[in-house]
A = this chain, B = another copy of it.
Amino acid sequence: MRRSARGAEPDKNTMKKPQLFTPGPTPLPPETLLAMAQPIDYHRSPASATLIADVLTKLKHVFQTENDVLCLTTSGTGAMEGAVANLLSRGDKVLVIRSGKFGERWSDICTAYGVEVIPIDVTWGESVSPSTVEARLDASPDVKAVFATLCETSTGALHDIAALAQPTQLRPTLLVVDAVSALGADDLQMDAWGVDAVVSCSQKGLMTPPGLAFAALNARAWDAAARSDLPKYYLDFQKARDAGREGSTPYTPAITLLHALQASLTLLCAEGIRNAIARHARLAQATRSAVAALGLQLFATHPANTLTSIRLPAEVDGKAFIALMREKHGITYAGGQSQLSGKIFRIAHLGWMNENDVIVAIAALERGLAEIGYEMPLGAGVAAAQEVFRR
C-alpha cells in the first residue's frame, strides 16, 4: 500500500484515478489503447503497407504540409539528430536558438557532429526576438541553417516561427524547427510559412505512446540532404522517404505503435488540425486565467498552447509538491528541468484533453496548494477557467 505524501496521516483517497498532465506522454484514447492489444501483424504484410501509407497521409494534415512526412522508430531526439545528420555537412556553421533545455539539445547534437554552432542565448522563459535572429543572419551570411523550437517544453515559451521563417526564406539558410511537444497544439504552418524542416514525435499532441518520431522536409531541405556528408544509417531520411512512398520503412518499424497512431490520427483528423489548435488555445487560456486567479505567476513571457509553466512560491518545496500531487491526488504535473528543477511546475493541456480535464487539473491544484498552506481563495481558479470556457 502506498503511503500518503504527508507520511503520518492515513491516506483516505484510496480510489485513485491517475491523470497525466505531463508534456508527454499524454493520455491515450481508449481506441488507441485497444489498438495495441490486438495480435501483432508482420510489418511487411499488405495490411501493414496500407497502415503505413494511411498514417503517413494523415500526418501530412497534422504537419500542414504537402511534403512527405517520414516516420522513424525513435523518440523525438532521434528525429532531431536525424535533421542534423541529414541536412548538414562537415564544416557547416549554424545558428541555434537556445532558450531552454531543448534548444540546448539542438546545440549539443550539432556539436557532437562537429558542426560549428553560433548560439543565440535567450533567458529561460523568454522567446527569441526575430529581429535578433535576422541581425545574426546578416552578420553571418554563410550560416547553413537556423535551429529553432516551436514550444520550448522546459519553459513553456512559444516561438514565433512564422516571423523566423521570413528572413530564412530570402536566404540560402534552412529553418529547422523542433515541434516535438507542440505539434497539434500550437500552430505550425510548414508550407504556408516556408519552414524547411520540422521534427516531432508521437507522445505529445498526437496522443500515442512514445517510440515514433517524424520529420518533414521541403524541397530546399531535400537538396541539402542530397549534399550532406555527415554519417548516418538508421536515421537516413532519404531511405525513410523512399520506403514510405511504398508503404514501407527501411528497418522494422514499431508496428504496434503505428496501429496506435492510426487510431489517434483518425480522431485528430476528424476534429481537424485547425480545430485541434483552437481547442488547445482555449484550454491554455483557461489554465492561465486560473493561475492568475490563484495569485500564481506564469513563467513564460509568451506561453504556448501546449503547456503552462508556473512559478512556485519561494516557500514551496517544488519536488515535494509534485510528489504530493501524484501520491495523494493521482495527478501528475511535470516538475522543472535542469536549472528550473524545484522552481517551476508545468501543467500540460495537451493531446486527448478537453475542458473537463483542465477543470480537474485546476481543482486538484487548488486542493494541493491549500494542503501545503498556500493562501488563496479556494475555487477561484476553477471559476476563472469556467469563465473562459463560457465565452
Q: In the bound complex, what is the Cα–Cα distance between A22 and B45 (angstroms)?
A: 11
Shortest C-beta distance, A199 to chain B (Å), equals: 12
B residues less than 8 Å from A233 (CB atoms): 77, 81, 108-109, 112-113
**Can you tell how many copies of this chain the complex includes?**
2
Contact with B along A226-248 (1 / 0, CB 8 A): 00001111110000000000000
B36 contacts A326, C-beta separation under 8 Å: no
Residue A285 at the chain B interface, CB threshold 8 Å: no
Nearest 10 pairs between A and B by C-beta? A211-B254, A209-B256, A36-B36, A37-B37, A75-B252, A77-B251, A33-B37, A211-B211, A112-B233, A210-B252
Q: In the bound complex, what is the Cα–Cα distance between A279 and B235 (angstroms)?
A: 36
Contact with B along A95-123 (1 / 0, CB 8 A): 00000000000001100111000000000
Shortest C-beta distance, A258 to chain B (Å), equals: 10
Q: Name A residues whose Cβ lies closer than 8 Å to a Cβ of B.
A: 18, 20, 22, 24-28, 33-34, 36-43, 45, 73-78, 80-81, 85, 108-109, 112-114, 201, 203, 209-211, 230-235, 251-257, 260, 326, 332, 334
A211 contacts B73, C-beta separation under 8 Å: yes
Q: In the bound complex, what is the Cα–Cα distance between A43 and B109 (angstroms)?
A: 23
B39 contacts A210, C-beta separation under 8 Å: no
B residues less than 8 Å from A37 (CB atoms): 33-34, 36-37
Shortest C-beta distance, A13 to chain B (Å), equals: 17
The one of B26, B203, B256, B334 that contacts A211, using a Cβ cutoff of 8 Å: B256
